[in-house]
Amino acid sequence: MEISCHLGDITTTRVDAVVNAANSSLMGGGGVDGAIHRAAGPELLAECRRVRAEQWPEGLPVGEAVATGAGRLPARWVVHTVGPNRHRGETDPELLASCFRRSLEVAHGLGAVSVAFPAVSAGVYGWEPAVVADVAVAAVRETAPAAATVQHVRFVLFGEPVLAEFERALGA
Ligand code: APR
């Protein structure tokens, strides 16, 4: 598995599966979530409503992941995951590691070969980019053997400071 990091907008990244930093409602929001829903179009929200009704009526738990189509995005799938929210006292790094692990496992199950991740929880949910980078890189490296179809993982980041943390974590 090749793991890389880049500056960019995840909604324009040409991969099989784009990971969304969602919230438990799956009904959209700001940040990555808002950008993905805007770019994907209303069919994404319609599919999220079906996922809620059929699979997660109580909402998607923190650390879990679920796939939908990608609407008008260049990707084939969106894998929605819910990061831990530091402002709610969700400070266990294992919850954040689970987001990356479960998203990769779901992508593998779909047969995705390439996956793009944002820095889940590093925005509204208040986690330090340095911690997110360390947790994300370790979780992806640990999950790689089990997610054998996934050959390329790209961390797509907003802003030089976050990119620098992922470059540091990847170099470690
Ligand atoms: N492409 C790549 N990265 C992005 C993009 C984008 N288009 N937009 C924002 N980011 C970056 C942010 O700068 C941050 O570093 O993604 C990281 C995650 O930020 P958030 O999107 O705020 O995600 P998170 O911290 O997990 O908070 C999730 O925010 O948008 C709501 O509905 C969402 O309630 C949920 C919460």
Mean pLDDT across 19-31: 98
User: What domain range includes position 8?
Assistant: 2-171
Write down the pLDDT at residue 29.
98
Q: Which residues pair with 82 in a beta bridge?
A: 22
C-beta neighbour count of 65 within 10 angstroms: 23
What is the mean predicted confidence (pLDDT) over 10-25?
A: 98
For the chain, the distance separating the N- and C-terminal CA atoms, rounded to the nearest angstrom, is 16
Give residue 48's pLDDT.
98
The pLDDT, as a whole number, for residue 67 is 98
Average pLDDT over all residues of the chain: 98
* Confidence bin at 172 (pLDDT 50/70/90): confident
Residue nearest to atom 7 of ligand 1 (CA): 9
Q: Phi first, then psi: give them for residue 153, nearest 5 degrees.
A: -115, 125
Taking a C-beta distance cutoff of 8 angstroms, is the pair 169, 134 a contact? yes
Q: Which atom of ligand 1 is nearest to the CA of 126?
A: 25
Structural domain total, the chain: 1
Please give the Cα distance from 14 to 10 (Å, whole number).
9
CATH number at residue 64: 3.40.220.10
Mean predicted confidence (pLDDT) in 143-172: 97
d(CA 157, ligand 1 centre) in Å: 10
Residue 169 corresponds to which tokens in the numbers above? 């974590």
The mean pLDDT of 104-110, rounded to a whole number, is 98
The SS3 of residue 22 is strand
For residues 52 and 34, give the distance between their C-alpha atoms in angstroms, rounded to a whole number: 18
The three-class DSSP label of residue 75 is: coil
Residue 108's pLDDT band (boundaries 50, 70, 90)? Answer: very high
Q: What is the reported pTM?
A: 0.98
Asked whether the beta carbons of 125 and 84 are under 8 A apart, the reply is yes
What pLDDT score was predicted for residue 91?
A: 98
Going from the Cα of 112 to the center of ligand 1, the distance in angstroms, rounded, reads 22
Contact predicate 157/8, CB 8 Å: yes
Give the closest residue (by CA) to ligand 1 atom 24. 121
Contact status, residue 151 vs residue 1, Cβ threshold 8 Å = yes
For 8, which DSSP code? Answer: S
Mean pLDDT along residues 33-61: 98
pLDDT tens string 63-97: 999 999 999 999 999 999 999 999 999 999 999 99
Is residue 136 within 6 Å of ligand 1 at its C-beta?
no
Q: Would you state the pLDDT for residue 171?
A: 96
Whether the CB of 162 sits within 6 Å of ligand 1: yes
